[in-house]
Amino acid sequence: MRVQSEQIVFTDNEIKKRLEQLDKNNNYEVKNVLYYPYLVYEYLVDRKGFFHPLQGNIGCTIDGVNKIGAVVDFFPELKETDIQDEIIIQSKTTLVEAECSAKEFLHETIAKKKKIFTVPELKDARQEMFYRPYWIVEGETKVGETFLITVDAVSGKFHPL
Amino acid sequence: MNSDVIIFVVYLLVLLGIGLYFSRKASLSSESYLLGGREVGPAVTALTMQSTSMSGFMFLGGPALAFQHGWFAIFYAIGDAGGGIINLSVLGKRMRRMSELFGALSPIEYLEKRYESAAIRVIGSVIATIFLFAYVFAQFLAAGKALESLTGWKYEWAVIIGVGIIVIYTVAGGYLAVVWTDFFQALVMLLGVALLVIVGLFYVGGISGLNASMGEVDTSYLSIWGKDYVYYGQWGVILGSSLIYMIGYMGLPHVVVRHMSMKSTKTVKTATLWTTVYNQLFAYAPYLLGFMGIVLLPNLSDPEMVIPTLAYTFFPGIFAALILSAVMAAIMSTSDSILMQAGTILSRDVYQRFIDKNASQDRLILVSRLSILLAGVIGVVVAVVQPPKVFDLVIFAFGTMGNAFLVPYVAAVYWKKANKVGVLCAMLTGSITNVLWETFSWQDGTGFHPFLAGLLVSIIAMIIGNQFGKPPSESVQKVFDETTLARQMPKHIAQNANREIGPEARTISEFIKTNSLVKE
C-alpha cells in the first residue's frame, strides 16, 4: 500500500542500544515495525489583540483509531512510501470526519492554555492522513521472562504493551 | 494612594509585562506551531502547578485554623501532603493506567467512559461546578481580605473591587497565561513563605520554643484534639480531617492536553514527582505560621489575618506589601482559572447536552460568561452579607467533591463489576450527606466529621445500588483486566514509559495479538 508516512528516526539498533543503556540488566530485541494512522490538521490564526496576540500556525493530530487529539509542534515531514498491508493499522476515520474533532480540540486547547474565551477563527492551511512507525520490542529478563514494549520510531517515546 | 497600593499596581504591571513579552515572543516564533512547544522542564512545570494550588486557602484559611486550634490543624496538612503520595502510589497508578486506556482527558470524562453513562458525566459536572464555585467564593473572601490589608480600604469595598476586577478580566479576555508568569508568582510566594517561616522560627526559638510558648498560652493547643480539647476522642473528626484533602484533589476536573512530538525527544519524567516534593515542603508552612500567630499575635481579632499581620511584623512595609501583592495576584489567577473551568463545564456539559444540542460556539461562550457573571454577583453578596470563613468554605468544597468522587474512583479500578447505578447512588448520597452534615452541624452530636459520614454513606449506597445495575460491557471489563494485571516490567522501563502514547500502545497490543505479528 502506498501511503504518506514519517521516516524512521530511531533505527532498530539505536532503539536496542537506548533501551539497554536505560535498563542494563535485561536484553532487548527489536521484533517488528508497525505503522499507526494519524490525521494532521494545520490552521492559521490571526488574532491581533494587545493582551492576547495569537498569530501564526497551530496544529494537531487526531489518532486515527482512538480519535483522540494531540497538539503538535511541527507539520510532520512526510514521504510517500510503499508499506506492506499487514504492518499497517487501518484508520477508523477520515480527514473529513475527524475535522470537527480537530477544531473542537484546538478550540479547547487554546481556551485552556491561553485562558481566553473568544477563540480566534481557525483558517484551514493543510491537512493530511499519515502513518507513524512504531517498533515492537521484546525484552528478556535474566530469568527468561519476556515482555513487550512499543517505541515511537520518530520521537523515541515508549510504552509497555 | 498609599505606597503599598503602588507596590501592588507595580507588581501587577510586572506580571503583565512578563505575560506580554512571552505571548508576543511565542506569537512571532515561526519555527514551531503555537502552543505546541514544550520549553520548560518538569521541575518548572511542577512549580507552576504548585502556584495554582497556592490560593487564598494556603495564605488565609490554613493559618487561621492553626491559630484557632493549634496542632489539631496539622491533620489537614498531613492529608494535603499525603494526597500527592497517594497519587504516586498504587491507586494513582491504576487510575492513570485506566485513564490512558480510555483516552479520557479529565477525571469526569474518565468516569463517564468507565461506567458507560452520560448521566454520570452530567451529575459529576454539576457537583464539580458547585465545588468550583464554593472554592472560588473562598478565593473572593480571601481577595477582599488581602486587598483590605494592602490598601486599608473597608472590607466590603475591598471585596466588591477585588471580585469586580477578577470577574471583569475573566469575562473580558482572561489573564495572561504564560508559564513564566505562574513561575514568577510561585517563586515570589514560595520565597515569601519560606522567609516568613525562617524569620518566624527565629523569633519563637525554633519548633521547641514555639511548642513551649504555645503550651504557656494554653496546653490544649499542643494536643491533637483541638483548642479546649473540643474534639476529644472524636476519631471520626480526626480521620475525616486527614482524608479530606488526600481525596478531594482526585476529583479536580483538570484537563490534560495531549502532546505529540514531531521530532525526537528526550524522555521527560513526569512532573508528578516534583509536585509531590514541593507539596511535602510547603504543605506544613501555613500551619506553622498559624502556630506562630498564637504566640506572637495574641491580640489578633481576625485569625485569617495571621500571614498579612506576620508579614508586616517581620519585614519592612515594602517586603510585606510585595508578599501580599503576590498573594493577591495568586488569588486572582486561581479564581480566573476556576471560573473559566466552571463556565466551560456549565456551557458544554450541561447547557449543550440538555438545553441546546446545536448551540454555536458563540452561544456557548455567552453562556459561560453569563454563568461567571452570575457567580461573581452571588460571590459578592455572600462575601458581603454573611461571609463564611475561607477555611470552612474550602473544606465544604473539598468534602463535597471527595464524597462524590472517591468511591466511584476507587471502585473503577478495584471492583470489576461496579456499574453506573451503584456509582450514581454513591455520588449523590455521598455529596448530599456531606451538605446535610455541614448544614445541620451533625458533627457536634455524632463526633463524625462530615467527610467521614459522607464517605460511609457513599460506600453503603455503592454496594446496594450496584445490585440493581447491569454489569459493565465486555470492552470495559477488558480494560479493567488490563489495568489491574500487574505488568512484569523492569523498573527503569516502567518509570520512563511515556503515558501519552498509552492509547496507541493499547491499539498496537490488540493488533499484534490479532495478527500474530511478533516473530519468535
What is the three-class DSSP state of B433?
Answer: helix
Say if B358 is an interface residue toward chain A (CB within 8 Å): no
Which pLDDT value is given to residue A144? 79
Residues contacting residue B95 through CB under 8 Å, at least 6 positions apart: B110, B250, B409, B412, B413
Is residue B255 predicted with pLDDT exceeding 50?
no
Is residue B491 predicted with pLDDT exceeding 80?
no
More confident call, B228 vs A68: A68
Residues contacting residue A48 through CB under 8 Å, at least 6 positions apart: A55
Say if B488 is an interface residue toward chain A (CB within 8 Å): yes
Residues of A in contact with B255 (CB under 8 A): 108, 112
What is the grid cell recorded at B422? Answer: 451503584
Residues of A in contact with B176 (CB under 8 A): 51-52, 115
How confident is the model over B318-333, as a mean pLDDT? Answer: 78
Residues of chain A with pLDDT under 50: none
Q: For residue B179, what is the nearest residue in chain A, using CA coordinates?
A: A113
Backbone angles phi, psi at B290, to 5 degrees: -60, -40
Residues contacting residue B261 through CB under 8 Å, at least 6 positions apart: A72, A73, A154, A155, A157
Give the span between the Cα atoms of B234 and B256, in whole angstroms. 39
More confident call, B285 vs A49: B285
More confident call, B66 vs B329: B66
Is residue B488 predicted with pLDDT exceeding 90?
no
How confident is the model over B139-163, as a mean pLDDT? Answer: 84
Give the span between the Cα atoms of B490 and B258, in whole angstroms. 26
Residues of B in contact with A139 (CB under 8 A): 490, 493
Give the span between the Cα atoms of A47 and B245, in whole angstroms. 41
CB-nearest to B36 from A73, A149, A161 is A73
CB-nearest to B518 from A113, A118, A136 is A136
Is residue B456 predicted with pLDDT exceeding 80?
yes
Residues of A in contact with B493 (CB under 8 A): 19, 22-23, 139, 149, 158, 160
Average pLDDT across chain B, whole number: 78
CB-nearest to A115 from B105, B174, B517 is B174
Q: For residue B482, what is the nearest residue in chain A, using CA coordinates?
A: A161
Residues of B in contact with A73 (CB under 8 A): 32-33, 36-38, 259, 261-263
Which residues sit opposite A46 in a β-bridge?
A: A55
Which pLDDT value is given to residue B417? 92
B268 Rama sector, left if φ>0, alpha if ψ -120 to 50, beta otherwise: beta
**Cβ of A76 and B262 within 8 Å?**
yes
Residue linked to cell 498509552: B502
Is residue B59 predicted with pLDDT exceeding 60?
yes
Is residue B314 predicted with pLDDT exceeding 80?
yes
Beta-carbon count within 10 A of B86 CB: 17
- Give B429's pLDDT tier (boundaries 50, 70, 90): very high
* CA-to-CA dists, residue B420 to B408, B435, B501, angstroms: 9, 23, 28
Render B112-126 in DSSP notation, one character per residue: HHHHT-HHHHHHHHH
Is residue B409 predicted with pLDDT exceeding 90?
no
User: Contact, B501 vs A152, CB < 8 A?
Assistant: yes
Backbone angles phi, psi at A39, to 5 degrees: -120, 125
Q: Which of B12, B15, B28, B34 to mutate to test the interface with A (most CBs of A within 10 A)?
A: B34
- Spell out a b/e string for B151-165, using b for 16 or more CB atoms within 10 Å of the CB, else e: bebebeebbbebbeb
CB-nearest to A136 from B260, B507, B512 is B512
What is the grid cell recorded at B126? Answer: 454539576
**Lowest mean per-residue pLDDT among A28-32, B224-228, B269-273:** B269-273
Which pLDDT value is given to residue B267? 41
Å from B423 to nearest chain A CA? 26
> How does DSSP classify residue A150?
E
CB-nearest to A161 from B105, B261, B509 is B509
Residues of B in contact with A154 (CB under 8 A): 261-264
Give the span between the Cα atoms of A129 and A121, in whole angstroms. 23
**Cβ of A159 and B336 within 8 Å?**
no
B302 Rama sector, left if φ>0, alpha if ψ -120 to 50, beta otherwise: beta
User: Contact, B314 vs B200, CB < 8 A?
Assistant: yes
Residues of B in contact with A157 (CB under 8 A): 261, 265, 267, 498, 500-501
Say if A58 is an interface residue toward chain B (CB within 8 Å): yes
Which pLDDT value is given to residue B172? 62
Q: Which of B101, B151, B107, B104 is nearest to B128 (CA)?
A: B107
What is the grid cell recorded at B369? Answer: 460568561
Is residue B311 predicted with pLDDT exceeding 90?
no
Say if A130 is an interface residue toward chain B (CB within 8 Å): no
CB-nearest to A71 from B173, B257, B503 is B257
**Cβ of B33 and A118 within 8 Å?**
no
CB-nearest to A74 from B262, B344, B499 is B262
**Chain B 168-207, residues with CB within 8 Å of chain A CB atoms:** 171, 173-177
Beta-carbon count within 10 A of B207 CB: 11
CB-nearest to B507 from A89, A119, A157 is A89
**Chain B 17-76, residues with CB within 8 Å of chain A CB atoms:** 20, 23-24, 27-30, 32-38
User: Contact, B288 vs B196, CB < 8 A?
Assistant: no
**Lowest mean per-residue pLDDT among A40-54, A93-107, B166-180, B424-438:** B166-180
Give the span between the Cα atoms of A150 and B511, in whole angstroms. 12
Residues of A in contact with B488 (CB under 8 A): 141, 145, 147
- Give B251's pLDDT tier (boundaries 50, 70, 90): low
Q: For residue A49, what is the nearest residue in chain B, using CA coordinates?
A: B173
Give the span between the Cα atoms of B322 and B157, in whole angstroms. 21
Which pLDDT value is given to residue B260? 62
CB-nearest to A160 from B257, B505, B517 is B505
**Cβ of A51 and B20 within 8 Å?**
yes
Give the span between the Cα atoms of B209 and B204, in whole angstroms. 6
More confident call, B83 vs B264: B83
Residues of A in contact with B369 (CB under 8 A): 117
Largest Cα separation within chain B, whole Å, is 79
**Cβ of A73 and B368 within 8 Å?**
no
Backbone angles phi, psi at B103, to 5 degrees: 65, 35
Residues of B in contact with A31 (CB under 8 A): 518-519
Which pLDDT value is given to residue B73? 85
Give the span between the Cα atoms of B501 and B503, in whole angstroms. 6
Q: Which of A16, A24, A47, A52 to mutate to test the interface with B (most CBs of B within 10 A)?
A: A52
**One-letter amino acid for residue A116 of the chain:** I
Residues of B in contact with A156 (CB under 8 A): 264-267
Which pLDDT value is given to residue B421? 94
Question: What's the pLDDT tens digit per position in B333-353?
Answer: 777 777 877 887 788 777 887
3-state SS, one letter per residue, for B166-209: HHHHHHHCCCCCCHHHHHHHHHHHHHHHHHHHHHHHHHHCHHHH
Residues of A in contact with B336 (CB under 8 A): 115
**One-letter amino acid for residue A68 of the chain:** I
Which pLDDT value is given to residue B273? 66
Give the span between the Cα atoms of B201 and B224, in whole angstroms. 21
User: Contact, B497 vs A158, CB < 8 A?
Assistant: yes
Say if A100 is an interface residue toward chain B (CB within 8 Å): no
